[in-house]
């Protein structure tokens, strides 16, 4: 019953948000095209439920000549960011295209953030249960610390979410996400891992 209700809410929220935010989509896309050559929407393969790969959408905030699998920007002054890229990240406007991933059933509004497919064996069996659910636009880790957490701490919270998942927890996380987005706090990773060099984008 939970999975059915969750999917219904995903469809209603994502479709409603897409229709409501169409002017925002157009404005952001035109802005990116004006300040940086190349496509406005960034596409990248990520791991979905049961490790099935899918193409994740984001508004592009970095220059085209940057390694898409390299280190994530760690400050607003990162030279790889396009003009206004920090604002797009801080306001989470860059994440809006993922509403189409939700509508298509590849993602959910709430769930573990989708990692690279190559990261699955890197982090091992301890966190494999996070792949039992669809990845989300937001999740427990994103409202409990975001960039202030290490990847291990995020993965542990992801596993906790899978264990506790219910519609009320999803609603609570979505409401908490509004506060996190409005404050723009901890969007840049301060320390990627406890014992590994910082790499990739969460």
User: Over the stretch 88-116, which tens digit does the pLDDT of each residue have?
Assistant: 998 999 999 999 999 999 999 999 999 88
DSSP letter string, 97-149: THHHHHHTTSSEEESPPPPPTTHHHHH-GGGGGGGGS--EEE-HHHHTTGGGS
- Taking residues 54-69, what's their average pLDDT? 89
pTM of the model: 0.88
- Give 55's strand partners: 45
User: Over the stretch 121-159, which tens digit does the pLDDT of each residue have?
Assistant: 877 788 899 999 999 999 999 999 877 788 889 999 999
Positive/negative CA dihedral, 114, 179, 100, 96: negative
Work out whether strand 108-110 and strand 53-59 pair parallel, antiparallel, or are unpaired: unpaired
For helices 167-183 and 2-20, angle between their N-to-C axes, nearest 10 degrees: 30
Instruction: Residue 46: name the closest of 110, 1, 98 by CA.
Output: 98
User: Over the stretch 153-187, which tens digit does the pLDDT of each residue have?
Assistant: 999 999 999 999 999 999 999 999 998 888 876 67
- Taking residues 24-28, what's their average pLDDT? 97
């Amino acid at each position: 019953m939970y999975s059915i209700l969750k999917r219904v809410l995903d469809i209603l929220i994502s479709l409603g948000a897409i229709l409501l935010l169409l002017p925002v989509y157009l404005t952001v896309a035109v802005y990116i095209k004006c300040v940086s050559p190349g496509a406005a929407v960034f596409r990248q393969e990520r791991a979905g439920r049961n490790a099935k790969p899918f193409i994740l959408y984001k508004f592009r905030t970095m220059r085209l000549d940057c390694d898409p699998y390299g280190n994530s920007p760690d400050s607003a002054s990162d030279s790889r960011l396009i003009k206004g890229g920090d604002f797009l990240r801080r306001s989470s406007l860059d994440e809006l295209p993922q509403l189409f991933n939700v509508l298509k059933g590849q993602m959910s509004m709430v769930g573990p953030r989708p990692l690279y497919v190559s990261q699955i064996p890197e982090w091992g069996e301890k966190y494999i249960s996070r792949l039992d659910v669809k990845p989300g636009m937001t999740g427990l880790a994103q409202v409990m610390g975001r960039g202030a957490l290490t990847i291990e701490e995020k993965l542990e919270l992801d596993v906790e979410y899978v264990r506790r998942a219910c519609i009320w927890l999803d609603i609570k996380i979505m409401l908490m996400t509004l506060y996190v987005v409005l404050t723009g706090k901890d969007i840049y990773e301060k320390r990627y891992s406890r014992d590994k060099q910082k790499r990739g984008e969460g």
